[in-house]
Amino acid sequence: MPHDDSDHPHALLPSDPALRVKALETLLTAKGLVDPAALDAILDTYERKVGPHLGAQAVARAWSDPAFRERLLTDATAAIGELGITGRQGEHVVAVENTPETHNMVVCTLCSCYPWPLLGIPPAWYKSDAYRARAVREPRKVLAEFGVTLPEGQAVRVWDSTAEVRYLVIPMRPEGTEGLDETALAALVSRDSMIGTGVAEAPK
Amino acid sequence: MNKPSKFDEPWQAQLFALTVALSEAGHFTWPDWTAAFGAMLKAKGKDRPLDGGADYYAAWLETLEALLDRTGLAGREEAHAMRHAWERAYLTTPHGAPVHLPGDSVSGLRCI
């Protein structure tokens, strides 16, 4: 909130958690346990560089290039490395492919493990107790709340992420996209479709 | 205009970066972190379900404070004292001026 109140004799006091984080940061940098430049680099990476556009690029490549798709399914970490997508929390990525028989959906029941290099910082709903508890128990109901209704014959498989293994869902390629290049295909791949709470939509 | 942040408040971003940097510097492994954080989320979620926003980062902060205290990297008391040093600095700095800690607040902390 802007604070232009000239009646205020002192600087606006930050919130309690903000002060506690500031305190930890001051202590840890003063002790030489963290490097302020490393903090800035991490912030820059996750605020500006990394996001679902990178995951979408990998999916679009898999749709267009059968050999890449094979490599992505066999060793996703190495395959995304070919596209220059690397980084923390991406050391062991497993790609799971949606088919007419099986729809895949990802959750972290422990906390919020997520393939950062491919999708960035998870959305709030992914971190909520409601999603974390219900994705495993009643995935179809959760999917319906996201506006996804699966055909009766399509099974749902829920993957529980851990600190060691992160999952990327490869959504099904929409109908009518045969002529599209990778850039146009990537635009159809939403963040939610790569978590499995959405599907890739055909171009309008 | 700046792009909207991926975090609701700047302190959440700072907290995230601090935790990742500590793990990367080898002070704890990421699985150690997720185990501690998972346990905290479970305990916090007993009273009422967490919404994954502010309450999620509040639990994150509490986990990190406890972990730093347990490992001796930053004890509860020194963290508390530093929080109050910052609070005093804000309350005694004229509005509009940059806020700095008095020099003696951080002296003597560097590990030798």
Q: How many Cβ contacts (< 8 angstroms) between chains A and B? A: 184
Domain count, chain B: 1
| pLDDT of chain A, 204 residues: tens digit per residue | 445 555 667 778 899 999 999 999 999 999 999 999 999 999 999 988 999 999 999 999 999 999 999 999 999 999 999 999 988 877 799 999 999 999 999 999 998 899 999 999 999 999 999 999 999 999 999 999 999 999 999 999 999 998 889 999 999 999 999 999 999 999 999 999 999 999 999 887
Test A164 with B31 for CB contact under 8 angstroms: yes
Q: Is B9 inside a domain boundary?
A: no
- Partners of B30 on chain A (C-beta within 8 Å) are 88-89, 163
Catalytic residue numbers of A, as ranges: 108, 111-113
Q: Is B82 inside a domain boundary?
A: yes
Domain count, chain A: 2
Q: Is A34 inside a domain boundary?
A: yes
Q: Is B98 inside a domain boundary?
A: no
Distance to chain B for A61, nearest Cα, Å: 26
Residues A40 and A55 in one domain: no
Residues A67 and A149 in one domain: yes
C-alpha–C-alpha distance, residues A125 and A130, integer Å: 8
Residues A44 and A62 in one domain: no
Distance to chain A for B4, nearest Cα, Å: 9
| Residue span of the structural domain in which A36 resides | 16-48
Element of type H or E holding A56: helix A52-64
Provide the residue type at B62 as one letter: E
Q: Is A1 inside a domain boundary?
A: no
Test A21 with B14 for CB contact under 8 angstroms: yes
